[in-house]
Structure 1
Amino acid sequence: MTVPLGGVPLADHAAVYAALDRAGFTDVWSSEVNGADAFTPLALAAAWQPRLRLGTAIAPVFTRGPGLLAMSAAALAEAAPGRFALGIGASSPVLVDDWNAIPFTEPFRRTRDVLRFLQAALRGETVDGAFGTFAVRRFTLERPPAVPPPVLLAALRPGMLRLAAAEADGVILNWLAADDVSKALAELGGRGPGFEVVARIFVCPTEDAGYARTLGRRLITSYLTVPAYAEFHRWLGRESALGPMWTAWAAGDRRGAGSAVPDEVVDALVLHGSPERCRAEVRRYAKAGVDVPVLALLPTPELTSGGAAALGDLIARLGPAGEERA
């Protein structure tokens, strides 16, 4: 599950993490946009639920210096030895440049360089030298983790996917349909032992299809108009399906862009229906080759009106243990 869950204060997440564990969820993965940072929700989970595995999906490679990113990862790996995976990625110009006042330049090379730095630093090595997009002088972690965390790379198109396969411990996929997974995995080629495929999957567990599609269109126009995601979906073969949306968006017609997204695209990228149906659709990703399907739970009318009890019931029905009750 993606954490923190919307509408629940971080201080109240002890009950959320306990419910996820009871429902059979194995992992909690954070994201970092403009809400909580990537590490704090996982630090709380490390203290409150010692069985859950923790992961960042993702910590951007631009918004922290290489040394600080290594320190944050090492601290969490020490707090949850053997249970933490560090997911990193380029993020986007809006988050990096517009919101953090850091130039978003050469994202592929920066991601590659930070990946190489982190792997050395988290092994406890002294890192000294130039990486291409930055240079580090004699950095050594004061407290290198006894169990260095695996470092996974967020990747969309062939270049980054191949870098992940060649140098990272896994890959993190995002904003793709179950039927798209095979195309992405084909670029990974021969992967090393233990290589993990993680995918974030947007789930809106409501049988109000109109509500789910309206929300899905809003998300799609927010994300898939970002150049990297637009090129990703062109590569996946959605030029004809999403071309009208991109045209309207470029012309400043936000309402028209949303209206131009076909139902079938929304339904493929944002799972909706009963919790049981959503769980079955998530299983399609696993069958396609995703090792860790990570649900990103979207708000629904039922959750808004039902409060904590509705959230607890939903978690129970969405989780693997819910198959025994269904």
Structure 2
Amino acid sequence: MARWGITLPLTGVPLQAHRELVKELPDLGYTDAWSAETAGTDAFTPLALAAEWAPDLRLGTAITPVYTRGPGLLAMSAATIAELAPGRFALGIGTSSPTIVSDWNAVPFEEPFKRTRDTLRFLRSALAGEKVTAEYDTFSVAKFRLERPPAAPPEILLAALRPGMLRLAAREADGAITNWLAATDVPQVRSELGTGGELVGRVFVCPTEDADAARGLGRLLISSYLTVGAYAAFHDWLGRGERLRPMHELWAAGDRKGANAAIPDDVVDELIVHGSPARCREKVQAYADNGMDTPVIAVLPTGEDPAALVRALAPGA
């Protein structure tokens, strides 16, 4: 059976209010809890709490941007969670997006492939406890050594959407993290990563039988994400370019409402899992059946209690 993850924290739920649910997750059948980092909580604090609340869960960041912390600070943050959760922490790193990196964090978004590769190489050395002095293509480090290197260095996974980054993940990382894909897309992604690395993927799940409501929310998310350059190129590669072209054209013209309306129902249904909780579980399992090692559910709001939805979507439900 594949691993089965959940994205924490849940939308609209205060961080401290997660304690009882997180304690339940292993008994519900969840094996993993993965954080994210956009404009809410940082990626590491929720995992520090989860390490205490549920010592059996594997924890992961999906993802931590490689630009918004210096290399040394990123290594220290990762080492801290690795100490709290020895042998059960995976560090997911990636480029994030120009909006998050440049507009919100005032860091130039330059040479993303090289910056990710260089950060990966630095972290391999630093988290192994080595003293690092190195000139990378995108930054340099002089005489950095962790004061508290983890006894069990975490696995490092790369956020990867297209062949170049997937192949880098296959060569130098422990796996890849992907996002915004259909279950039927998994074999194409897996073929580039190969069979040796773990494939983690966030799966957006809206557990409601109100298809119109689920599609309405799905359209808002799809137009927000898939108009970003990296995601647009990803879906061109996956073969959705023509079906998404009207959305891109209307978005570029400033017609946000028209762009949303132009997304076909079948595209929404491919990328957003919706239906009854039982039907949603079947659809999430399809990702695993198609080659994803760790599907990670991101619960979308339905108006119901988010914790109850997590329980209803659990593999043991």
Question: TM-score of the superposition, structure 2-length normalised?
Answer: 0.97
Write the distance in 2 (CA, Å) between the matches of 1:258 and 1:65.
37
2:3 corresponding residue in structure 1: none
Write the distance in 1 (CA, Å) between the matches of 2:194 and 2:294.
19
Write the distance in 1 (CA, Å) between the matches of 2:100 and 2:251.
19
1:280 corresponding residue in structure 2: 282
* Identical counterparts, % of pairs: 64
CA contact (8 A) 2:299 2:310 kept: no
Could you tell me which of 175, 179, 182 is aligned with 2:187? 182
Once the two structures are TM-superposed, the CA of residue 224 in structure 1 deviates from its matched residue by 0.1
Give the ranges of 4+ consecutive aligned residues of structure 1 lying more than 3 Å apart after TM superposition: none
Q: Does 2:41 correspond to 1:41?
A: no
Gaps of 5+ in 1: none
Could you tell me which of 135, 140, 155 is aligned with 2:140? 135
2:209 corresponding residue in structure 1: 207
CA contact (8 A) 1:96 1:103 kept: yes
Once the two structures are TM-superposed, the CA of residue 312 in structure 1 deviates from its matched residue by 4.2
Q: In the alignment, residue 113 of structure 2 is paired with which amino acid?
A: F
Query: For residues 134-283 of structure 1, what are the structure 2 equivalents within 5 Å?
Result: 134-189=139-194, 191=196, 195-283=197-285
Q: Does 2:315 correspond to 1:320?
A: yes
CA contact (8 A) 1:59 1:89 kept: yes
Could you tell me which of 23, 27, 42 is aligned with 1:22? 27
Once the two structures are TM-superposed, the CA of residue 16 in structure 1 deviates from its matched residue by 1.9
User: In the TM superposition, what whole-angstrom CA distance separates every residue of 1:75-127 from its partner, at most 9, and x where no partner exists?
Assistant: 10001101100000000000000000000000000000000000110000111
Q: In the alignment, residue 158 of structure 1 is paired with which amino acid?
A: P
Give the SS at the match of 2:157. strand
2:129 corresponding residue in structure 1: 124
Write the distance in 2 (CA, Å) between the matches of 1:67 and 1:35.
23
1:298 corresponding residue in structure 2: 300
User: In the TM superposition, what whole-angstrom CA distance separates every residue of 1:291-312 from its partner, at most 9, and x where no partner exists?
Assistant: 11000000003x1xxx4xxx44
Write the distance in 2 (CA, Å) between the matches of 1:196 and 1:32.
21
Query: For residues 78-97 of structure 1, what are the structure 2 equivalents within 5 Å?
Result: 78-97=83-102
Q: In the alignment, residue 271 of structure 1 is paired with which amino acid?
A: V
Q: In the alignment, residue 269 of structure 2 is paired with which amino acid?
A: D
Give the SS at the match of 2:80. helix
Write the distance in 1 (CA, Å) between the matches of 2:270 and 2:106.
35
CA contact (8 A) 1:19 1:312 kept: no
Give the SS at the match of 2:295. strand
Once the two structures are TM-superposed, the CA of residue 190 in structure 1 deviates from its matched residue by 5.5
Give the SS at the match of 2:142. strand
Give the SS at the match of 1:74. helix
Once the two structures are TM-superposed, the CA of residue 6 in structure 1 deviates from its matched residue by 1.0
Write the distance in 2 (CA, Å) between the matches of 1:145 and 1:272.
40
Q: 1:312 to 1:91 in 2, by over 3 A?
A: closer
Write the distance in 2 (CA, Å) between the matches of 1:22 and 1:32.
27
Query: For residues 69-80 of structure 1, what are the structure 2 equivalents within 5 Å?
Result: 69-80=74-85
Once the two structures are TM-superposed, the CA of residue 242 in structure 1 deviates from its matched residue by 0.2
Bigger CA drift: 15-24 or 160-169? 15-24
Once the two structures are TM-superposed, the CA of residue 239 in structure 1 deviates from its matched residue by 1.3
The alignment's C-alpha RMSD in Å is 0.9
